[in-house]
Structure 1
Amino acid sequence: MDVQSIQPALVGKTVELTPLQQDHSLGLLSAAADGVLWNLKSTVVPGPDTIDAYIEGALAGRQVGTVMPYAVVLRSTGLICGSTRFWKIDRANRKLEIGHSWLSSSVQRSGVNTEAKYLLLTHAFEVMGCVRVQFTTDEQNDTSRAAILRIGAKQEGIVRNERIMPDGRKRNSVRFSIIDSEWPDVKTMLRHKMQR
C-alpha cells in the first residue's frame, strides 16, 4: 500500500503538506538551520544529531496508524520550510492532536502556519470525521500559545509535568482544542485570515 492512500498530501495556495519520507532529512535540516531551531528549549526540532531518529519515529508511528507526519513545502520554491503532524490518532473516539509543528524563522508570521493549520483542520474534521482536535505546547512558549489561540483553539488547562524535555526539564504543557461544533466558525475565520 502506498503512502498517499493512507496519508494524502494536503495542498493549499502557499504550502503543500507532503507525507514525510526518509529522503526529506536534508530539507528538514536546512529548514531547521534557518533560526538554528534545534537550540530552542521550549520545543523539539531535529538537528544534525537527531534528524534520523526524528524521521524514524514519525514513520514508525505512521506504520501503526497513530501518526500522520508531514513536511511543510513552499509551493513557490518547492523547498521544505518545516514539519507538522497528526498524532495521538484515536479513531474509536474520533480525536487526534496536531503537533510537532515548527517552521523556519523566515516564514514565521507569514501566513504559512495559518494555511497549514487550515489544511490539517479541514482534513481532520471533514475527511477523518473528528469530533475533537487538540494542541499542546510548553507553558513557557508564549509564541506558540498565541499562535494556537489565533487559529481559534480554546485553552483548556495546564497539564503539570506532562513530559520530560531533552535537557531533563519537567515540562508543564498547555492544552487547547477545537471541537466539531466550533469548526464551521473557525473555518470561516481562518478563510478570512488567509484572504487578507
Structure 2
Amino acid sequence: MQPLEGPRILLRPLQPDDAPALVLAASDGELWNLPFTVVPSAATVQGYIDTALQGRDAGAVLPYVTVLKETGEVIGSTRFWKVDRVNRKLEIGSTWIAARWQRSFVNTEAKYLMLRHAFDVLGCVRVQFTTDEINAKSRAAILRLGAQQEGVVRNERIMPDGRRRNSVRFSVIEEEWPQVRTGLEARL
C-alpha cells in the first residue's frame, strides 16, 4: 500500500500507533458524537484501527490517515473499501476530517488523489460513495466532486446507536473520470 501525495496533503497508510493522533484530530469537533458516521473516540479507537487493519490484511480495505504536509499533523482518516479486484470497483468511504479543516481544500484534494489512484493506478471501472441520507453536508460534498447520485439504499446498515440507516449511493464510472478529473484539478 503506497502513500498518496498531493501538494498540501498526504494520505499515508494507517498504522497501529496512529491512535493518539486520530483521537486528537477527532476531538476537534468531538466528531465521535456525530449521528451519521463512525469516528473513533479514545474508547473506540483501538477497535477502529484493528478493524481497518484486518480489512487491509484481507485485501478488502486500504485505510489511510490524512496528514497536512506543512505540519505533519494528522487531521482525519479515509479509506478504500469494498475492494473488488475482479469487477474492478471499490468504494471510497469512512472519511472524516477534523472540524476546522472541513469545507477547505482537504476533502477535494484527498478525493482527487484517491480517484486518480483508483482509476489510473488500480484500473477501476467504478468508484462509489455512500453516505447517510441525513448527512446533507456529505451529500453536497460528494456531488461537488462530480459523482452521480444513484439512489437510496434502505436500511443499509445499523448505526452504533441502533438506528437503521438509509444511505445515499453515488458513483463515478470510468467514462466520467476524465471530466471529473478536469473539474477537480480546476478546483485545486
Check if 1:104 corresponds to 2:98: yes
Q: CA deviation at 1:26?
A: 0.6
Code of the aligned partner of 1:19: P
Please name the residue that 1:17 is paired with. 11
1:160-171 mapped onto 2 (5 Å cutoff)? 160-171=154-165
For residues 57 and 47 of structure 1, the distance between their equivalents in structure 2, rounded to whole angstroms, comes to 14
Match of 1:67 among 47, 61, 70: 61
| Cα distance, 1:110 vs structure 2 | 1.1
* Residue identity matched to 1:24: D
TM-score under structure 2 normalisation? 1.00
**4+ residue segments displaced more than 3 Å:** none
RMSD: 0.4
- Per-residue Cα deviation, 1:30-53 (whole angstroms, up to 9, x for no partner): 000000000000111011111000
- Tell me, in whole angstroms, the C-alpha distance in 2 between the residues paired with 1:189 and 1:146: 15
In structure 2, the partner of 1:4 is: none
What is the aligned length? 188
Structure 2 partner of 1:84: 78
How far apart in 2 are the matches of 1:52 and 1:147? 28
SS at match of 2:175: coil
C-alpha separation in 2, matches of 1:177 and 1:18: 24
* Correspondence 1:172-191 to 2 at 5 A: 172-191=166-185
Aligned equivalent of 1:154? 148
What is the TM-score normalised by the length of structure 1?
Answer: 0.95
Structure 1: distance between partners of 2:17 and 2:66: 14
Which residue is equivalent to 1:3?
Answer: none
Identity within the alignment, %? 62
Amino acid aligned to 1:117: K
- Once residues 27 and 165 of structure 2 are traced to their aligned partners in structure 1, the CA distance between those partners, rounded to angstroms, is 24
